[in-house]
């Protein structure tokens, strides 16, 4: 079963790397949880069902998934011969997708499941926080940006692409590093799986 655990860990890692987004106090942040149904009357059966029904990754399926949708309302103002981004209001929707048993579980199994689920949920919430932190970085590096020789506010729309890309890449690296630790041998998620499936 440890081999199977490693297989699903790799799948989870690949999918979680796709996480990215943006938001802050002056914008709108919505966090929501969706579930997918799994079945089984034992821990190995439930875990096998996760492998069959979990969110698709590039290799196999993942245990859970954090995704987002981001839109911006930006205000550009000509200032003499220049153009300045004077305001940027993000709207961020973060969606956490997690497994949920379709039927009632025996009391002892339910307790084991609750520990496993809460650990996976907390892992996903960290990804959500990284996403929100990235938004703050984007706001910090773009609001107030001014481009000379752009009274029509056209050049500035290209100029903000660079800080947006840099913030996105930094967040992806941070997310990747986090997963590498959590999903690697002895990591928090790795231990959660082994404890749940094997009772270790």
Domain enclosing residue 174, as ranges: 2-198
Exposure of 135 by Cβ count < 10 A (0-12 exposed, 13-18 middle, 19+ buried)?
Answer: buried
Model-level pTM greater than 0.85? Answer: no
| pLDDT band, residue 56 (cuts 50/70/90) | confident
Which pLDDT value is given to residue 72? 94
Using an 8 Å Cβ cutoff, are 125 and 96 in contact?
yes
**Residue 22: predicted pLDDT:** 34
> How many domains does the chain fold into?
1
Q: How far is CA 138 from CA 56, 71, 95, 153, 160, in A?
A: 29, 13, 20, 19, 9
The model's confidence at residue 183, banded by pLDDT at 50, 70 and 90, is confident
Max mean pLDDT range (51-60, 64-73, 146-155): 146-155
Residue 1: predicted pLDDT: 36
Predicted confidence band at 192 (pLDDT cuts at 50, 70, 90)?
very high
Mean pLDDT of the chain: 86
Strands (E), 16-174: 28-38, 65-79, 82-101, 146-147
Q: How does pLDDT run across 130-176, given as a tens digit for each residue? A: 999 999 999 999 999 999 999 999 999 999 999 999 999 999 899 88
Q: What is the pLDDT of residue 26?
A: 60
């Amino acid at each position: 079963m440890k081999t199977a655990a490693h297989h699903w860990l790799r799948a989870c890692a690949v999918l979680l790397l796709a996480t990215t987004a943006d938001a802050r106090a002056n914008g709108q942040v919505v966090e929501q949880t969706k579930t997918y149904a799994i079945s089984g009357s034992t821990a190995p059966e439930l875990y096998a069902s996760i492998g069959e029904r979990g969110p698709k990754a590039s290799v196999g399926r993942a245990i859970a998934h954090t995704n987002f949708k981001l839109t911006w309302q930006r205000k550009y103002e000509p200032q003499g011969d220049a153009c300045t981004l004077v305001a940027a209001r993000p709207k961020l929707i973060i969606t956490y997708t997690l497994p949920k048993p379709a039927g009632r579980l025996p009391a002892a199994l339910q307790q084991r499941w609750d520990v496993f689920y809460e650990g996976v949920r907390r892992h996903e919430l960290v990804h959500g926080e990284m996403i929100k932190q990235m938004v703050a970085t984007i706001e910090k590096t773009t609001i107030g940006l001014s481009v000379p020789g752009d009274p029509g506010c056209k050049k500035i729309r290209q100029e903000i692409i660079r800080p947006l890309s840099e913030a996105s890449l930094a967040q992806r690296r941070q997310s990747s590093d986090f997963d590498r630790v959590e999903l690697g041998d002895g990591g928090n998620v790795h231990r959660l799986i082994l404890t749940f499936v094997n009772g270790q």
